Each structure stands twice: as structure tokens, then as C-alpha cells.
Structure 1
Amino acid sequence: MKLKQFGITFLSVCIAAFTGTKAAEAASFSVIAYGLNNPRGLSFDPYGSLYVTEAGTGGSGACVPSPSAQGQSLCYGTTGAVTKIANGTQERILTGLPSLALPDGTDTSGPQDIKFDASGKPYIAVGYGSDPAFRATLGNTDLGKIITANFNTNSWTSVADLANYELVNNPDKGDVISNPFSLLLDGNKLVVVDAGANALLSAGTDGSNLNAIATIPSQTLTNPVFPTGVSPSPFEVQAVPTNVALGLDGAYYISELTGFPFPEGEAKIYRVGSDGQPTVYADGFTQLTDLAFDTEGNLYALQYANQSLWKGNLNGSVIKISPDGTRTTILNGNGLESPTALTIGADGAIYVTNRGDRPGQGQVIKIENPKSVPESTSIFSLLVLGTVSVTLLRQGKAKMP
């Protein structure tokens, strides 16, 4: 059984989750943008303005079969956008971007992430979340591609076609599904996570030399917990990689959501070095959607939900992993709901896209006093250098955002 799709569906008090840890100090946040349609990735430009991608709400155009919601279709529209947040205001500065969603505007793919080069040129990952063979039925669309945009003219240009790469190459040799979900700029290279393809890819900033750097492996569970109470065992769970971050050591670090049944404590962070082989850097997480390093080498991991999605509890967490392996929960639920991405500002604050699975209800929040207590190392093990809502439930290859 393989399910697939990642339609990524306030003041808070961090509490210690396990016996033996003391109560955490409160970490407060403020909402700095609201009313967003399925917000996803966010990034600062070189001038200090913050930008967030909105995957949109699909539309009334042509449709393609949903690879996971049996008998339902994902329909095309131009409701994707990029919003700029600066000087206490928010403004959609790029509109009309492609979007694919169920009729209620959930289970959405569209603009998923944004990054800037040193000159301020933006690159945007546009998701797709279906079989690339069906994409032509939607018309001439940039779903499943990396694009670069001109905010002044509300226009964009295609750079690399990841959906077509999946169609032709299928690097993980599994289901043929593509959903570019996050990207980073590493010198003159674009490094992209395709959550549908279970792959990490790279290309020149001009789109040249598109190739797979690594594939993220599935895992086999013994006696997994299912909604029905019936647990086929063993059961293969897809990786569904969601984000890539560049470490101070020059390696790539990849978060995974995991596919259905979204097992608690089974999501991992992988390290991919120059040999292209993924090794487990840290484990014991649940449904990760993003990673970010600060200047001191601390790694921040974002949990979309702390429990298996089918349980209906979408409280998420921000967890800090120090270079020595100590884990600290910065924020845990109480307003942090189905978060999809985070970034570290020059001010040291943590910025998070919140309610990333909801049309018209998405937010960007700013965590201003990130303090709390370490997690119990007996619960969350760290292996160093060696080792959305119902809509997100529909993600899997369970590939995915």
C-alpha cells in the first residue's frame, strides 16, 4: 500500500513531554502575516525583507487524478503567490502562479519554497504532487519546476523541470510522482528536494546538468500502528523528504516527513556528503517539514505534527539540536499548528509558516524568546555523522508539502 501527496493542510508554552524533564520556560510568538493560502517556504532576501510562498487553492481548470485520494481529482488554477513581509506590512508581490488542489482548496501543491542569490534574484520551487505523465492535460504550466521571478513585472521564467526528470529517470525506482518541495543555493548550484520522487537533485542556476545527488531510502516497520487497528507487518514506509539545509561542514542535511501511517518517532534527519550516500544524522522525530542551521551550527528541526496525522492533532514543534547533540524544544503546540517551514533571521529570531495546510488561514509567526529545556536523550537518540490535517495524510509514495 502506497499513499502519496502532500497537500500541506498562538502564544505558546513549551512543556516537557517526558518524565524526568523540568517544565520549560515560555516561548512567545507574534503573528507578522496572516490570511495566507496554504503558506509554505519562507526566506529573507539580501536586503532583510521576508518572503513566503503561498501554494494557493487550485482552481476550476483541468484536473488530474490524485495519486492518494482515491476517486478524487486535483484541479488547476493560477492562485499561487509570493507575499513580501517588511516594515510591518504584507503584500502579494507575485501572483498568478500555478496551483493544484482538491475542490475545497486543500491537498495543495504550488509555490513551495523561495530562496535568493547574493544579488537578490529569487528562485522558487513549484510543486506538483502527481504523476508527471498527466501534467500535459493541464496545459502549459510550470507545476513541477524551478522558476525565477521578476517581482516588478509580475513575471517568471522556467529554470529546471524536475517533474520531467522524474518521468524520464525515476531515480528511486518507485512510483512516478514529482513534488519539488524545497531548495537552496549552494554557490552556482540549485539543490532541490523532490518530496514525491524521494530524491535530492542539483542543477546549475541556469538549469543545466540536472541530476540526482541522492535518493532517500524507505524504511520497514514491524507492527506499525494504523488507524483501523489492523497493522500489516512488516510494512514499508516511504521517506517523503521535505527540506535540505547546508551544514557548516559543507554537507546537505535532509528532513523526512515519512509516509502513511506517519509513524511517531520514526522520522529522521539524513546527512549527504560528497559521496552522495545518505546516512542518519539524527532520529526519533515525527513528521519533519523543515530544517535550518544558525551561525553557531545549531540545527533547528520543524515537526508538522507531533502525533500521527490520522489522529487529528496538528500541534507541531520547533526543536533545536546543538552540535553536541543536546535537544531543546523551543515551541510545542498551543498555537503552533501544522507548521511547514522555518528560517532564522539576522536578529536571531525564528520565523515559521504556521497553519500551512489551510486556505485563507495561514500565518507567518516570529518566535522572539526561543528558550526551553533539553529533551530526554533516552527518548530521542542522536546519531552524529554515522549513522497536512487529513490533506497531509494523503501524502505518501507515500511521497509528498
Structure 2
Amino acid sequence: MKTFLQSASRLQLPWLYVTCIALLSFSLGCNKVPDNLPTLHITTVASGLVSPMGLETDAGGNIWICETGTAAHDGKVVVVTPSGEVYDAIVNLASINNAVSGEVEGPAHLLLDKGVLHVLAGNYLYNINVSNFKPGDTPIDASTLPYEDIGSFVLSYPFVNNAHDTHPYNLTKGPEGDLYIADAGANAVLHRKGANQYTVLAELPNVANPTPIGSPEIQCVPTGIMYDGRDFLVTTLTGFPFPTGSALIYKISMSGSVSVYQDGLTTLVDIAEGHSLGHLVLQHATFGLKGFEPNSGALVWANGKTIRQLAGGLNIPVGLKQVNIRTWYITSLGDGTLLKAAYY
């Protein structure tokens, strides 16, 4: 197992002390992420993953990871054991070329709930019972399974800002147990009330393009989504030319009202609960002359007021999963790895 160290501060404070400082700061209303944060250790749990994307964990400590595929309906979900062994879990998931961008879109993100793995792949939602699956079992063949066609619903809906595109990308549970889906192509959040029952909770607006490259407005491209106990928080990647500092975190109420939770971020791809310091968001990369720049991804604290980097140097990260208030898993698209970030 390869290990390296990324420090968010020169001063190493005990975790309890830092947490107490943060709790005191928030109780006093200063809404500032403290300057002195404990040391974060990042280790490589598994390597050799093929275009890894979103991830989920189960009660046994296993990590379920989406692999995109090659647009030949060859998407996968693999399961990684706590010791780093990798097994195919679900094969032959939808993997297609997006009709608008031409990019490969296969399994993107997944959610495990009561033994059912909800997987977004291509334009579809699969709901797969994995309650009896064990790492090493014969993989489940998704080509034999039913799915819900989210894309057809989206493409028939009269969006204002949608360029007749769909990419169901990420999902979460709402307070009533329904699924809510961030569609990165439609620039919208969908509400799944039941099997094949979809409505649009909110459409997200375009954002101003601060650069002279491209059109005056760019799409927001929603990516991560979570329910914070009151509202949904949705991270955005932004569209080309992916300007630094233009990514937003939106707050969406249960009634569909949209407001900005935090601005000033860059190419966000996921969000996790975090703890008293705020939420953790994942920066994909900065965009340069040759595309997304390697090793420019980051973990960032965001509490609605201030922003502070927790770790930099990540290589095109895409998925973030919180295990507890001091441990997170990250998928690296650039390295094909599963990383573990933790305070010891």
C-alpha cells in the first residue's frame, strides 16, 4: 500500500482540540474555518481501476465503485474490500456516447439503501438487490436486469436552459425516502417519487463567463448532491472553459427554490457531509491550455461563508464518500486509484 502525507497546516493540533475550536467558532457566529487544521494522511487503498467514478460504502466496510466503460454497454461496478482486493460486482451496465458532447457516459454514481444499489449509468437508473452479494461472488449481469429510462423523461421536458441534453450523474435520498438526481446535461435536479415517476424539482441557471473564451454565459453542470437536513446542496462543475472561481454550491429547498449557498469555487464534482468545520467539496482540477491539469484537484472545506483547502495535489478526482467525521474515500480518475483520506 503506497502512503504519502499531505498537510493542511504546519501546526499539528489534536483532533478534539480542533473540533472544540470549530464548535466554539460557529457558536460565536464567526463562520470561519480555522487556520490551523490537523494533518491529513492520504493512502492508496486500491489501484488499477478503469475510469473510476462515484463510490459508496456498505456496513462491512466494502467500497462499491462505478467504472465508466467504453461506450459499448460495458460499464461496471466493482467492490473493493477493506484490505484492497478488487472484485467485479455488476457488469454490462449501460455505457454510451453522449448524443450532444460525444463523451463516454457509463456508470457515474450510486447509492446503497436497504440492500438495494441504485446505479446511474448512461441515461438509466438501475435498482439492484445486492443484499446477498459477497466480494468474490459471480458478478451480476446487468444486461438481464430492468432499468428506468431517465433520459427519455428529461429529453421530453421543456427546460429553459437545457441544450436538449441529459446526463443523470449523481443522486441522494430526500427526507421522505425519495431519490433526487442531479442531471449534469439538463442542468436540473430531478425528483423520483417512485418507479418511473419523475418530476423536475429545480432547473439551475447559467452562470456568467468571466473569460473572453466562449459564450458570455456557460452552463452550471450540477454534479454532487446531498440533503443537509433542511435543503439540498448541489455542487457545480461549470461548462467550458471551466473558469477558476466560477463554480457554485447551490441551495435548493424542498419546494424547488434555488439560491447560492457558496461561490468562489472551481470545478466541483462532489460533496460530503463534513462536520463542524463545514462540508467537504471535491475540486476536479484547474483547466489549462492542454485541458484539465493533472494533480490540481483538491479537498476543500466550505461552510457557506469561507473556503479553506484541506488537501491539494489530487489527480483528477471525481468521487467523494464520507465514512465518519475524520475519514473519506476519494476516486482518482487520473490515477485509476481509490484513496483514503483520514485524520489519525
Q: TM-score range by the shorter chain?
A: 0.7 to 0.9
Mapped to 2, the partners of 1:309 and 1:47 lie a distance apart of 44
After TM superposition, the structure 1 = structure 2 runs for residues 32-47 of structure 1, keeping only pairs within 5 Å, are 32-47=45-60
8 A Cα contact 1:257 1:267, kept in partner: yes
Change (3 A) 1:203 1:159: farther
Mapped to 2, the partners of 1:326 and 1:219 lie a distance apart of 21
After TM superposition, the structure 1 = structure 2 runs for residues 59-138 of structure 1, keeping only pairs within 5 Å, are 77-88=72-83, 89-100=85-96, 107-117=103-113, 119-126=114-121
Change (3 A) 1:348 1:14: closer
Q: CA deviation at 1:160?
A: 2.9
Partner residue of 2:343 out of 362, 369, 385: 369
1:219 aligns with 2:215: no
Q: Which amino acid aligns with 2:178?
A: K
Over 6 Å off, 4+ runs: 21-25
Q: Which residue of 2 aligns with 1:379?
A: none
Mapped to 2, the partners of 1:48 and 1:243 lie a distance apart of 22
Partner residue of 2:323 out of 329, 345, 359: 345
Mapped to 2, the partners of 1:31 and 1:326 lie a distance apart of 29
5+ long unaligned stretches in structure 1: 1-9, 59-76, 127-142, 371-401
Q: CA deviation at 1:365?
A: 0.1
After TM superposition, the structure 1 = structure 2 runs for residues 358-397 of structure 1, keeping only pairs within 5 Å, are 361-369=335-343
8 A Cα contact 2:8 2:310, kept in partner: no
TM-score with structure 2 setting the length: 0.79
Mapped to 1, the partners of 2:248 and 2:301 lie a distance apart of 14
Change (3 A) 1:26 1:348: closer
Partner residue of 1:147 out of 122, 126, 142: 126
Partner residue of 1:200 out of 174, 189, 200: 189
In proportion to residue count, which structure has more strand?
2
Partner residue of 1:236 out of 217, 228, 232: 217
Mapped to 1, the partners of 2:288 and 2:221 lie a distance apart of 15
Q: Which residue of 2 aligns with 1:330?
A: 310
Q: CA deviation at 1:264?
A: 0.7
Mapped to 2, the partners of 1:291 and 1:277 lie a distance apart of 20
1:293 aligns with 2:286: no
Mapped to 2, the partners of 1:309 and 1:316 lie a distance apart of 16
Mapped to 1, the partners of 2:39 and 2:287 lie a distance apart of 22
Give the aligned length. Answer: 303
Mapped to 1, the partners of 2:331 and 2:289 lie a distance apart of 18
Partner residue of 1:165 out of 134, 145, 153: 153
Cα RMSD over matched residues?
2.7
1:51 aligns with 2:37: no
Q: CA deviation at 1:144?
A: 0.1
Q: Deviations over 1:49-73 (max 9, x none)?
A: 2211111123xxxxxxxxxxxxxxx
Mapped to 2, the partners of 1:268 and 1:82 lie a distance apart of 29
Q: CA deviation at 1:26?
A: 5.0
Q: Deviations over 1:266-286 (max 9, x none)?
A: 100000012312100000011
Q: Which residue of 1 aligns with 2:21?
A: none
Q: Which residue of 1 aligns with 2:6?
A: 13
What is the aligned-residue identity percentage? 24
8 A Cα contact 1:189 1:205, kept in partner: yes
5+ long unaligned stretches in structure 2: 10-33, 134-138
Change (3 A) 1:204 1:110: same
Residues 297-306 or 33-42, more deviating:
297-306
TM-score with structure 1 setting the length: 0.69
8 A Cα contact 2:61 2:82, kept in partner: no
Mapped to 2, the partners of 1:367 and 1:173 lie a distance apart of 37
Mapped to 1, the partners of 2:262 and 2:325 lie a distance apart of 27
8 A Cα contact 2:161 2:206, kept in partner: no
Q: Which amino acid aligns with 1:80?
A: G
Mapped to 2, the partners of 1:107 and 1:215 lie a distance apart of 23
Q: CA deviation at 1:350?
A: 1.2
Mapped to 1, the partners of 2:57 and 2:257 lie a distance apart of 30
Q: Deviations over 1:204-249 (max 9, x none)?
A: 34232x0110011101235x153xxxx76xx11111111111113x
Q: Look up the SS of the partner of 2:94 in the other structure.
A: strand
